[in-house]
Amino acid sequence: MGTRRKSRELTMQMLFQGDLGKQTPDEVRKLFWPSRDDVDAETRGFAEDLYRIATSRQVEIDALIETHAQNWRIERMPVVDRSLIRAAVAEMLGFPNTPAAIIINESLEVGRRYAAPESIHFLNGVLDAIARDLLKKRLA
């Protein structure tokens, strides 16, 4: 597994832990990293960057999700799906030079490992809609 994909997976896991455990970002970091001493510095650094963006811009990210996840309230989504989408949108916002298609594809690959099979189409649709919206805003 590549460094970036592993980072994305770790970010999703941290978001999942924080969401499900109702933990602050500092609590998540304190509990998450000690058991992962096999993660190299580059992978951890990118995961930390994504996690920081996802947590510090969560209100903005959740508003984008709510807008583009038609007929779905964010609190009703499965925690894995919500965490995957938040991580991907954080990357779209924080690393605009990374093509959205790559971010979406990588998120779907992580989703195939952790999400329900029927979630993949949902994730793809929401992420694609958000990516198109963000691109339109950047070009405006």
pLDDT at residue 40 tops 70 = yes
Mean pLDDT of the chain: 94
State the Cα–Cα distance between residues 79 and 128, nearest whole angstrom.
Answer: 19
How far is Cα 1 from Cα 103, in angstroms, rounded to an integer? Answer: 15
Residue 140 has pLDDT above 90, yes or no: no
Cα–Cα separations (whole angstroms), residue 47 to 14, 37, 73, 125, 139: 9, 14, 26, 24, 28
**Token pair in block for residue 92:** 């779209």
Query: Over 70: is that where the pLDDT of 1 sits?
Result: no
Residue 5 reports pLDDT greater than 70? yes
Instruction: Classify 3-139 by CATH class.
Output: mainly alpha
Domains in the chain: boundaries: 3-139
